[in-house]
Structure 1
């Protein structure tokens, strides 16, 4: 049982006001402009937030009324969100990849009255559905075109707000004072791996708990002197919780959601921590391995040697032993030759990464730990306001998602399901009392749907309850574990889906990392082939097959991959095969590629 975490603030706007009072002249945000970076202090941020909040008030936004944000991660997203909350409203988050039809569903289901849309493309989605959105009174666009009526530019909204501030100087503080702890703050629609998205109701108290729990972890995790680089989708709960930590602690954040700019931005921003989904770390790892291979045989041998030395020392330390003098010397040489250069590419100041939203392969976690930039893996759901468990630099166990945040309780049900209770747990699904009752029991325990076990207070997630595979022979397989191992073994793999439910053995659908396999092709006489042609080439199948054989050597017989197929394209958000937070929708993938799967089971009948 953990001591209860309480906050002295009534709401997020109240906490934001306190941060401005304490840190007004300090840098709050950094964002890209014309090839460089521009900063906002906390006081300057407040001025823009006030203008947006009062602009929304002038358009009739009232307490807990929903305003949507349909945009990629950028500075305007954060300002709009805080403006909505300070006006007394609640934010409905919508991924920029959402289809017009799904936008309509979310806006209608949530009762959203105003939407902030990034550009003309996003505005066009809403305009095409306007007849189906009678409650949507206005669209505010960041980069799009104003029509002077239904669509306004953000600058026009802020002009309205500033005019109202001149007329009523006390109004902004009055609006903040009316926002209460149990008021709805955020309505996040789960992109869900099955079924219609559900609106998760998170109130101000949920986010205040997260902010205080992060602060209660002390300097071990985050400090006011940290610098964050934030690229995560703010439509996702993981990105949102990092905002709360920032407001509570006051560290500056560089904001840029362009994934293709991550490596360049790391060198420019020189952050002390960065959060991301496992897919990002897999891609970085794959790139590092590929570059070592491309450097020639000697460079690759040095890289492999450095990894082996580092892993040997790391495993000794985890077992409570200290490396001897020779191993310490080898580690110092390995660091100088290989790992120090990698850290420089990350800006040279990175203390650690934070990983969440999906399972991280232990082998990849171990590589980053050896490289001197450990990944603090954490765990949480949209339904728990994100952060629920996290590893900490001084309290860390590889392969786990860490210990609970202060104030959060955990227990493991008889069937292995992880149950969570605490300040971050949702107030319910919007308009869905039966679905709420199915996951939230009368004692306040949230049934997460994940299978896990506790080791000395550290939680190890073994799989999703609904993802566990039961073969026709009655054997259970945890697919995520197998998939993670293969991705760590083979730098050319992008996504893996292990299949075998009610089948006699396990198979796998595999997609290739286009950048990695193209680079390999150039060094192996296949540069003329397209990505799709490479997926069909015998040499590529042999390449992947070698890693599958290596994987199988370390698995129980019923877990082994008997056959695999390489798909002609990667899984995409557009094909509904992965969520915007990069989780695989297994059932959709299996349905889309059912014929390919069936071909791997000749002369067998799927068990019913």
Structure 2
């Protein structure tokens, strides 16, 4: 038996066990970094502070004991409604060490759906980021008779501040209240926990020892495109498996510094906590998306998890700056981008054929020159130490994947779902294949059904949908195989490729099947101005597209092409922009089958976003929502045609 298999077979029952073991093993090592405003906060100045594992344990055990003091018991639900920040992790670990179960709520979730999640999960307490999140709970408190406590994170407080000193600065007005709902601060909860531990000093150790593998650990509600979200039941063993498999697969190492900005309410971000607790590396935590570019050179991560949209925006930004500089600099960038793709593609093909990554001498010389002129600056923008970035939640356009791989910032695509507690497959750093989602992780099985659907089985698979046995039976077989709803294939070397979402495939009125995500990926790869695209054609006699442009890229182009001074909406509706985008559509169409080609398109007046409900928090497009919102534009593209 291999050492990796031994570790998997003998994994602890829960992350709570992993956490206490980690603290005992490396109490004085740095565990977390997080930003704190300096001075009065008005200047925007910040500094990064640290928590050791020992200090983290003090905070976590106080929170866990505080929950026990409130009366929380095994598997009772405690919700967390907050953006990604240090307190989220402290609260989540506290819930686990109390033997309770966390209910993750996206902070962007509206009041009605927040109330639904809290009610359906039967949450007894809720951690809320600020008064705004608390107000959503209070608004529908009459629907939540079981909710007794709300614990408020002060958005201006330092997670390492002395609990007795209270928050550095509180809200200008008292937080909203509801009858029967006790509202207390995180510091107050910790004070209660400290007092509880004085009377029951062994409470947390006793509680953790009693946690069993199949005990409910987390409810994460899927951000579905239609209807109410479904609560995915993930037990403690799911997270323990994720923690150990991230170590044995070589994804994480003890000396890593990982930058975490992904939403912790999403399964991808949540799984990263398990891996970090297992390996004990440093986790730098800041969920502010607008600070990613600023934070990277400061944090200087060695690993980072991300979503494809971030790399698309980074690439488009680099290309836009080079275009603005014009002349020789733009030509050098275009040459270097081609060299990066050729270098990465050739090396990948060589690895697949011979087992070693080699390229022709002439290409190696060109790559070395391009590295000095272009790639070094790209790596520096990521902090200069990034050995790999895991990417999930959607497909990355292959051309962008090859570009970053050739530039020395490999994007390691993986695959997983909420129902599988995140990763099931991932590309290895030493043999990653652009265009695939890698090989199955140790302990996970993958097979392809007769209709092409990907089936998964392993310790990370959910135990069902909360309160929905019929929905569970639709996707979870009695022998443990989970139906993903994704279409894919497995090559001879075990690499998995996702070709489309089963429910997204559509048939034209001519009877031809179309995989829209494949076309959308191709378009985003060739069009640096694209932010989002939705290909439409179900039951129609040709395909059309709704296209949203990236404001940060199209506006500089507009200023340089006679459209300066116009608003974004005016720019994207102009004939000049329509002609610009039409050129990219034609380029994509040249490589498609006739029935796949985009015959007409409309440029949207604004980009798609989470706030309007058009994107999930993990930035996936909600197709039905977008099609309904822009139904008039869609119908206009089919006016005068005969439908079959």
Scaled to the shorter chain, the TM-score interval is over 0.9
Match of 2:322 in 1: 292
Residues 18-63 of structure 1, C-alpha deviations (whole Å, 9 max, x = no match): 0101111000000001201010001100000011001111111000
Q: Is structure 2 residue 113 aligned with structure 1 residue 102?
A: yes
What's the TM-score once normalised by structure 1's chain length?
0.97
Q: Is structure 2 residue 322 aligned with structure 1 residue 253?
A: no
| From 424, 447, 451, the counterpart of 2:487 | 451
Q: Is structure 2 residue 204 aligned with structure 1 residue 172?
A: yes
What's the TM-score once normalised by structure 2's chain length?
0.92
Alignment of 1:416-431 (within 5 A): 416-431=452-467
Cα drift, residue 605 of structure 1? 4.2
Match of 2:430 in 1: 394
Alignment of 1:180-579 (within 5 A): 180-218=212-250, 221-320=251-350, 322-455=358-491, 456-579=493-616
Query: Which whole-Å CA distance do the structure 2 matches of 1:194 and 1:76 have between them?
Result: 32
Contact 2:340-2:404 within 8 A present in 1 as well: no
Query: Which whole-Å CA distance do the structure 2 matches of 1:313 and 1:261 have between them?
Result: 31
Query: Which whole-Å CA distance do the structure 2 matches of 1:244 and 1:338 have between them?
Result: 36
3-state secondary structure, aligned to 2:511: coil
Query: Which whole-Å CA distance do the structure 2 matches of 1:235 and 1:88 have between them?
Result: 19
3-state secondary structure, aligned to 1:115: strand
Cα drift, residue 189 of structure 1? 0.3
Match of 2:33 in 1: 30
3-state secondary structure, aligned to 1:491: coil
Q: Which stretch shifts more, 357-366 or 42-51?
A: 357-366
Contact 1:232-1:275 within 8 A present in 2 as well: yes
Cα drift, residue 215 of structure 1? 1.8
Contact 2:135-2:176 within 8 A present in 1 as well: no
Q: Residue 167 and residue 531 in structure 1: after superposition, are their counterparts in 2 closer, same or farther (change >3 A)? A: same
Contact 1:6-1:209 within 8 A present in 2 as well: no
Query: Which whole-Å CA distance do the structure 2 matches of 1:67 and 1:423 have between them?
Result: 24
Query: Which whole-Å CA distance do the structure 1 matches of 2:512 and 2:638 have between them?
Result: 17
Structure 2 segments unaligned to the other structure (5+ residues): 38-45, 155-170, 351-356
| From 3, 14, 19, the counterpart of 2:22 | 19
Cα drift, residue 574 of structure 1? 2.4
3-state secondary structure, aligned to 2:135: helix
Cα drift, residue 3 of structure 1? 6.2
Query: Which whole-Å CA distance do the structure 1 matches of 2:137 and 2:228 have between them?
Result: 20
Contact 1:7-1:208 within 8 A present in 2 as well: no
Alignment of 1:10-89 (within 5 A): 10-34=13-37, 35-89=46-100
3-state secondary structure, aligned to 1:387: strand
Query: Which whole-Å CA distance do the structure 2 matches of 1:82 and 1:119 have between them?
Result: 20
Contact 2:138-2:176 within 8 A present in 1 as well: no
Query: Which whole-Å CA distance do the structure 1 matches of 2:5 and 2:470 have between them?
Result: 31
Query: Which whole-Å CA distance do the structure 2 matches of 1:503 and 1:61 have between them?
Result: 55
Contact 2:500-2:515 within 8 A present in 1 as well: yes
Q: Which stretch shifts more, 447-456 or 596-605?
A: 596-605
Cα drift, residue 147 of structure 1? 7.7
Cα drift, residue 324 of structure 1? 3.2
Cα drift, residue 352 of structure 1? 1.2
- Aligned residue pairs total 604
Q: Residue 59 and residue 300 in structure 1: after superposition, are their counterparts in 2 closer, same or farther (change >3 A)? A: same
Cα drift, residue 514 of structure 1? 1.1
Contact 1:52-1:80 within 8 A present in 2 as well: yes
Contact 1:146-1:152 within 8 A present in 2 as well: no
Contact 1:7-1:209 within 8 A present in 2 as well: no
| From 154, 163, 175, the counterpart of 2:186 | 154
Residues 76-123 of structure 1, C-alpha deviations (whole Å, 9 max, x = no match): 000000101111100000000000000010000000010100001111
Cα drift, residue 311 of structure 1? 2.1
3-state secondary structure, aligned to 1:388: strand
Contact 2:218-2:233 within 8 A present in 1 as well: yes
Query: Which whole-Å CA distance do the structure 2 matches of 1:260 and 1:8 have between them?
Result: 38
Query: Which whole-Å CA distance do the structure 2 matches of 1:529 and 1:204 have between them?
Result: 54
Query: Which whole-Å CA distance do the structure 2 matches of 1:466 and 1:3 have between them?
Result: 36
Cα drift, residue 313 of structure 1? 2.5
Cα drift, residue 175 of structure 1? 1.6
Query: Which whole-Å CA distance do the structure 2 matches of 1:169 and 1:446 have between them?
Result: 43
Structure 1 segments unaligned to the other structure (5+ residues): none
Query: Which whole-Å CA distance do the structure 1 matches of 2:547 and 2:30 have between them?
Result: 45
Residues 217-237 of structure 1, C-alpha deviations (whole Å, 9 max, x = no match): 13xx22111110000000000
Cα drift, residue 448 of structure 1? 0.2
Q: CA RMSD in A?
A: 1.4
Q: Residue 8 and residue 401 in structure 1: after superposition, are their counterparts in 2 closer, same or farther (change >3 A)? A: closer
Q: Is structure 2 residue 144 aligned with structure 1 residue 133?
A: yes
Query: Which whole-Å CA distance do the structure 2 matches of 1:30 and 1:183 have between them?
Result: 31
Q: Residue 3 and residue 442 in structure 1: after superposition, are their counterparts in 2 closer, same or farther (change >3 A)? A: farther
Match of 2:633 in 1: 596
Cα drift, residue 146 of structure 1? 5.9
Contact 2:11-2:240 within 8 A present in 1 as well: no
Query: Which whole-Å CA distance do the structure 2 matches of 1:202 and 1:43 have between them?
Result: 28
3-state secondary structure, aligned to 1:254: strand
Residues 288-319 of structure 1, C-alpha deviations (whole Å, 9 max, x = no match): 11111111221110001111222223232223
Query: Which whole-Å CA distance do the structure 2 matches of 1:571 and 1:308 have between them?
Result: 30
Residues 408-450 of structure 1, C-alpha deviations (whole Å, 9 max, x = no match): 1111001000000111000000010000000001111000000
